[in-house]
Amino acid sequence: MLSEMQSTISNEIIKKIEPLIPSGCSIVKLEAEGPDIILYIDNVEKFYAVDNPVKDIANALKKKVIVRGASNLLMNPEEAKAKISSLIQADAKVNEIRFSPEFHEVWIEAYKPGLVIGKGGSTLKEIIKSTGWAPKVLRTPTLPSEIEKSIRSTLLKEAELRKKFLLKTGKRIFSTVDKTSWVKITALGGFKEVGRSCIYLETSNDKIILDSGLKFEATDNSKDFYPYLSTLNTPVDEINAIVLSHSHLDHCGFIPYFFAMGYDGPIYCTPPSRDLMALLTFDYIKVMKKQGMTPIYEEKDVRKALLHCITRDFGEVTDITPEIKLTLHNSGHILGSSIMHLHISDGLHNFVYTGDIKFSHTKLLNPAVNVFPRVETLLIESTYAGKDDFHLPRPEGEEKMMRVVTETIAKGGKVLIPVFSVGRSQDIMLVFEEFARRNPDKANFKIYIDGMILEASAIHTVYPEYLKDSLQRMILSGKSPFESPIFEVVKGNRQEIIDGGPCVVLAPSGMMTGGPSVEYFKAFAHDPKNAIIFVGFNTNYSLGRKIQKGDKEVAIVGEDGRLDTIKVNLRVETASGFSGHSDRRQMMNFIKTMRPKPSLVLVNHGEPKKSEDFANSITRILNIESRSPMDLDSIRLK
């Protein structure tokens, strides 16, 4: 029964819940924490005497439902910790048990979360029934990770602040509004260009930001570095939500700036995207300061963004406003990367934004999803969608990379592979690990990993469920390829590697717009025995593109602020097929096999000629209306 219940939920929802509450127990408090319905139960034992009560309530409401014990049920934390430890198998390897009184939760961190959960969630039910605390299970990274420690500690430390934010967001989501009659989007960045991706989606009731990134080749705080946020004529505190597709800086790097400017709303993304965004934006601040520039936001703004993340797994339908439902789907690009499906105003319009996609299998991820309940408008990237953009088949790309590596090592040279810390690094590591496993006699060289690659790889071990099935099984069985002894983490002076023997170095940034890859290049470039292999996209004005296209001299800003002219004598190669983006053939196939067929296709995230040609080809070949907008264009969708 629901008598004398404290509630922030509408009577309509309460009426749906009431008949589903098992007899002998009551809900003493009902809250909306963001899009989630929270039930505080006075008798957990009676509640779980019925099979799947949470599932029944969630199905009735079509919302995510979380059950917690009432305040009077909460066992003393020390006693609860001992009880919980007795309920969990020793094989689970519990690393830490911590309590969050604000949420009536106990966080259990373990190397084997499945053993903490128990068959059908049996152990979790025993924990809440015997202690009153609602268990939240976290996976311990198999690699050391300072960022994971920091994220989890911050979320616990600032639980009171996060609770207030979630209740405020829930009040907004479950409010009543008049039905909207129109939908439009405005291109704020990343249209007919690669970088600073940002889309503004607006209805008569809602203002939503989809991605907000920085531009790669910009080397200072010029206006070309950021999205055209100033053109909105909308205060940031009127924006209802930010949705993040994935955590490369050209999509997430500008998000903390919203919090620096007073935004106090939610960011919706997958759990890995939240963690990777924190990693990369913290690093952005460090890099800017190292280059003698002032970052546009501070670490406190990154932490505030972290606290305002509401994470969702693939396939979860979530109300992000009273009229907009969001579902995230795998995009196949990097860990946790998402295609966004927005269902607006009871089906008035359905909008799909791909972010960056890979519509084929890789060693790291499954291919992008292209089946949705309803779609009227598709916004799709075009990084490699030009008429001549056809990647080598993946096996040929791997063969070429390993051939260049072994030839260079045999001559006594060193190989530099510039990589993004997230995505390509891990993909390339898997290639080397497999090569070493299958050819132990040929893998007689050191492979150094530098920069944030170790931290990013550790985050991959926290979320194996987002990885390709075969890789997931390896990590869960304690055989993570990222921990192979063939990899050596750079901890000390890079000069030892530069002066040392033949080796391979994986180092960010992938486009050589800064970071360790530039330092290694300056040291390796003069020697024709050495080689550099590009395995990802380089924007037009990046240092990586200049080297890739064959420039024999390049200018690099030194630590003293002066330009150094570097002669390029080393071997320059490109191993195609490793990109986290689909090529022209895969992109056309994504749209051709998409279900249902969209009525309108909009193209972004590509150089001008590629975007225009791709849009024209979609219209001509697939007979779907298609356009290639430019930055600052507004398009009415309904």
| Structural domain count, the chain | 4
CATH number at residue 297: 3.60.15.10
Q: Do 115 and 218 sit in the same domain of this protein? A: no
Tell me the C-alpha distance between 1 and 569, whole Å. Answer: 78
Q: Is 452 found in the same domain as 589? A: no
Nearest to 278 by CA among 261, 312, 301: 301
Would you say the pTM of this structure is higher than 0.75? yes
CA–CA gap between residue 543 and residue 391 (Å, rounded):
22
Q: Is residue 534 part of a domain?
A: yes
pLDDT at 219: 45
Same domain, 479 and 515: yes
DSSP string computed for 501-538? SSEEEEES-TT-SSSHHHHHHHHHTT-TT-EEEE-S--
Indicate whether 479 and 542 sit together in one domain.
yes
Same domain, 215 and 348: yes
SS3 404: helix
Cα–Cα distance for residue pair 248/425, rounded to 1 Å = 13
Residues 400 and 380 in one domain: no
Could you tell me the two tokens for 58?
Answer: 């969630």
Decide if 570 contacts 543 (C-beta within 8 A).
no
**Which of 82, 112, 140 is the last residue before a domain boundary?**
140
Q: Which candidate, 57, 82, 76, 83, places its Cα nearest to that of 2?
A: 57
282 in Cβ contact with 299 (< 8 Å): yes
Quote the distance between the C-alpha of residue 181 and its chain's center.
32
- Can you give the residue range of the structural domain that contains 121? 90-140
pLDDT score recorded for residue 292: 80
Specify the DSSP class assigned to residue 336: T
User: Residue 20 CA to chain centroid, in angstroms?
Assistant: 36
Phi-psi region of 607 (alpha: psi -120 to 50; beta: other; left: phi over 0): beta
Note the pLDDT of residue 559: 63
CA atoms within 13 A on the CB side of 8: 21
Residue 132 shares a structural domain with residue 18: no
**55 located within any domain:** yes
Q: Which residue has the tokens 């024999």?
A: 552
pLDDT score, position 359: 96
Mark whether 367 and 232 lie in a shared domain: yes
Per residue in 109-154, pLDDT (tens digit) is 999 999 999 998 999 999 999 999 999 999 999 988 999 999 999 9
Polymer length in residues for the chain = 638
Same domain, 202 and 331: yes
112 secondary structure, DSSP code: -
pLDDT of the residue at 560: 60
575-604 exposure pattern, b = at least 16 Cβ within 10 A, e = fewer: bbbbbbbbbbebbbebbeebeeebebbbbb
Task: Say if CB 131 and CB 45 are below 8 A apart.
Answer: no
pLDDT recorded at residue 493: 84
Identify the burial level of 48 via C-beta atoms within 10 angstroms of its C-beta, where 0-12 means exposed, 13-18 middle and 19 or more buried. Answer: buried
Amino acid at 190: G
Place of tokens 């994935």: 246
| Residue-level pLDDT at 542 | 84
Residues 447 and 522 in one domain: yes
Check: CB of residue 318 under 8 Å from CB of residue 269.
no
Residue 77 inside a domain? The answer is: no
CA 420 to chain centroid, in Å, comes to 14
**What's 433's domain CATH number?**
3.40.50.10890
Is position 85 within any domain?
Answer: no
**pLDDT at residue 291 in the model:** 76
Q: Is residue 589 part of a domain?
A: yes
Q: Given this model, what pLDDT does residue 553 score? A: 86
Here the tokens at position 439 are: 């050819």
- Inside any domain, residue 154: no
For residue 32, give the CATH number of its domain.
3.30.300.230
In terms of domains, do 375 and 413 share one?
no
Number of helices (H) and strands (E) in the chain: give both, helices first: 21, 29
Relative orientation angle of helices 77-87 and 122-131, to the nearest 10 degrees: 150
All residues at 6 or more sequence positions from 550 whose CB lies less than 8 Å from its CB, including other chains:
572
Domain annotation covers residue 82? no
Amino acid, single-letter form, for residue 110: A
Write down the pLDDT at residue 223.
Answer: 66
Q: Is 287 exposed, middle or buried, given 0-12, 13-18 or 19+ CB atoms closer than 10 A? A: middle
Which of 72, 98, 115 lies at the terminal end of a domain, its last residue? 72
Q: List, run by run, the mean pLDDT of 10-residue segments along the chain (638 residues).
A: 55 84 90 95 91 90 94 96 96 96 97 94 95 96 93 97 97 93 97 96 97 74 80 91 97 97 97 97 89 90 98 97 98 97 97 97 94 98 93 88 94 94 91 91 90 92 95 91 92 88 92 86 94 86 87 78 84 89 96 98 97 97 97 96
563 and 603 in a single domain? The answer is: no
Cα–Cα distance, 46 to 54 (Å, whole number): 13
What CA–CA distance (Å, rounded) separates 638 from 560? 54
Q: What is the structure's pLDDT at 218?
A: 44
User: Is position 167 within any domain?
Assistant: yes
